[in-house]
A and B are shown apart, each in its own frame.
Chain A
Amino acid sequence: MNIICVVKIVPDVDSFAYDYENNTLIRENIRMILNPDDACALACALKVKAGRPDCSIEVVTMGPKAVKPHMEDLLRLDADRGTIISDPAYRGSDTYVTSRILARYLSTRQFDVLLTGSHALDGDTSHVPAQLGEELDLEQMSGITAVDFERFDSRRAVFEVEYESSVVTWEMALPAILSLDRESGYTLPYVKYEDFQRDVSGKLTIIGNPELGFEPGEVGSDGSLTEVVRTYTQRFETRERRIVRNDDAGIEDVFNFLLEKGFL
């Protein structure tokens, strides 16, 4: 069984610093992390693979070459192959173009299932999995919170999706695209100590436009159907600061405050 995980390395929103003078986010020195939903997708793939010697996992990402250390760590887990799609020409691509680029690469690969996350920490449009379905002519399902590993093979997958008032169990014919939600709670295993220094460069391929062959006008911001008109950082108001003591009056104060704000 061949599984491909499509993942994204995203800025860790918790590491954003705030420029108080200009009321903007400071984007330098931002730490990058594997998008949490995508981590669940890979963790799920690794669970499927466990105990199935015929199963192989490829991790595919599109982004700058700086994501290499992150991809290398994923390969130090039990992923068999990693591909970074990176090209200066792809910079500024919207979700539509990103999906086309990913799809062109994926159409050259043999797979039984594509696993992705449902949401990304940064853009959070959730476009890419569905658009990949469109491009590759595959069914796609988002918001998966549990997978039945007993009933997951190269022909079909059984899984649960949580809706507002119900949990629905689906059975889907493969190949298809399954998008995991972080609520699934699938966590990546730790890299083993002996593997931290393991050279995995042989398992990692970096490809770009020479391999995928898009015309210049098709990719980057030129090829994008959507355009970001304006981004702005939420302005944070300076709140009034009140210090209370750890005594009856202080407790009363906090209690009334919470009551007033509707928390109690």
Chain B
Amino acid sequence: MNSETILDEVQKLLTPEQVNTDREDLYDASADRYKKYAKARGVLDVPMPLAIVYPNSTDEVSRLLQFCNENRINVIPRAGKTATEGGLENWKEQTLVIDALNLNKIIKLDTYNMQATVQAGVALQDLEDELRKEGFTTGHSPQSKPVAKLGGLVATRSIGQLSTLYGGIEDMVVGLECVFPDGHISRIKNVSRRSGGPDIRHIAIGNEGTLCYITEVTVKCFKFYPENNRFFGYLVKDVESGIKVLREVMANGFRPSVARTYSEEDAAQHFYHFHKNKCVLLFMAEGPEGIVDATCRGIEAAAEKFKDGILEQVDSKYIEDWFNNLNWSQQDIDDEYEGMKEHDSHAGFTTEISADWETIPKIYNSVIRRIRDEYPRAHELTMLGGHSSHSYINGTNMYFVYNYDIHCAPEDEMRVYHHPLQKLIVEETLKFGGSMCHHHGIGKFRSEWTKDEHGSAYYMLAKLKEAFDPNGIMNFGTIFPQEEGRKYLS
């Protein structure tokens, strides 16, 4: 089917107002924040989608997917547009972006049963604001909270900054509704728990738009006790010393909502008013008073036990200030975009990995050493460091953070800088047995390592793709490696 006919047919399936073919919008829809700099400079090397479509209902999503499936048209599901790993990048000549803009209803706030049901296009901030009015919270607080939407947050297996207490999105999703390429609508019911075979929620959670389109989700909600929040900050000797304290707190069974260790370089970016060029360790305890008190005692006991690694305690007011100014708004994202148009620089890149307690410091040290020794443009790095920001009983994550002066053409930036750096991080992580993708998803630019990430279990992932998307119309190139897409890889 040629492109013109596709557009005609889609307009008949929906209404013309629901089909956007504005050139600027299509250019914007060609890539996400992975190629943010090339995008801002107007030099993207990927095809533009044919249209962005805005279904008004699950039925419309179903009809659209069925149409695309029958005509082999690539589909990119889209929500808040904050994807960082190429999940929204287009690698096909015939693509429709299905945007959840009009699926924007908060369906039910059920605070007795402690759950809330929303459509996929509801911004997390909007849900959070509604819950707060009633004294509740989603407990989900990614830095992109003001912009990201529930469909995207579930599709990427996102995680919030309070995860150490509330968990990742996978711990919050109760049930959901999703649509498969053949048009089938599945509703996974909302129950507190069940043992009804494998947990099929996980087919949708984290699918990054490669298996199904998520139209509705029900998430847990929690009582909100902001008045009990307590903060702790310390300057520590090195990353390893900070991680030891994090481990102690977690292993002893405490669940602070925030538990982080920053390298010197990363601390200098965030805590300019107190970092003193040292690593920073910080905690936030929240919840009912008694739990907060116990958590605080747990934190203090851990800090005391490892006091040799602690240089000094920081005024908790600083940590509270920092916490209150963490999130990125749409304005911040737009400001960075405008800045990139004029300057050979941006706000930097990140690669987030995870591993057990023992392995994380090894990966961290090894990555930093390899970048310094092997990366040919190491002399242009203006920043290289990282932080651990999500801890579990058995391990933690490491968020590598780096920035550089850009001395190449905008279209080459990824292959000269970010991608080789990410490659070193991924290689070291996989070598040590960690995971290369703690919370941003695989997207398109880590798909070359999906098989290494999953090893023999990749079989299960590949079977899901074969079963649910046999024609391969869902988000071509994302998660599942594609030879044809290699030309867009670095």
Contacts and interface: CB of A to CB of B under 8 A. Distances in A.
A191 B379 contact: no
A111 B202 CA distance: 71
B409 to A, nearest CB: 4
A196 B408 contact: yes
A15 interface: yes
Given A17-B268, A196-B376, A191 B408 contact: yes
Given A15-B382, A17-B277, A20-B276, A193 B376 contact: no
B321 A196 contact: no
Contact of B321 (A70, A190, A243): A243
A112 B446 CA distance: 52
Interface residues of B, number: 17
A19 interface: yes
Given A32-B379, A73-B407, A193 B277 contact: no
Given A31-B379, A31-B382, A197-B376, A21 B408 contact: no
Nearest to A18: B277
B408 A190 contact: yes
Interface in B389-422: 405, 407-409, 412, 415-416
| A21, A31, A33 pick with most chain B CB within 10 angstroms | A31
Q: Give chain A's interface residue range (CB within 8 Å of chain B).
A: 20 to 34
Contacts of A26: 277
Interface string A12-47: 000101111100001000011100000000000000
B133 interface: no
Given A17-B277, A243-B321, A193 B382 contact: no
Contacts of A197: 376
Contact of A19 (B268, B277, B379, B416): B277
A196 B408 CA distance: 9
B12 interface: no
Contacts of A241: 273
B379 A193 contact: no
Interface string B267-296: 010000100110000000000000000000
A190 B407 contact: yes
A18 B416 CA distance: 30
25 contacts: A15-B382, A17-B268, A18-B277, A19-B277, A20-B277, A21-B276, A26-B277, A31-B381, A31-B382, A32-B379, A33-B405, A69-B379, A190-B412, A191-B407, A191-B408, A192-B408, A192-B409, A192-B412, A193-B409, A193-B412, A196-B408, A196-B416, A197-B376, A241-B273, A243-B321
Interface of B: 268, 273, 276-277, 321, 376-377, 379, 381-382, 405, 407-409, 412, 415-416
Given A19-B277, A33-B405, 16 more contacts: A17-B268, A20-B276, A21-B276, A31-B381, A31-B382, A69-B379, A73-B407, A190-B407, A190-B412, A192-B408, A192-B412, A193-B409, A193-B415, A193-B416, A197-B376, A243-B321
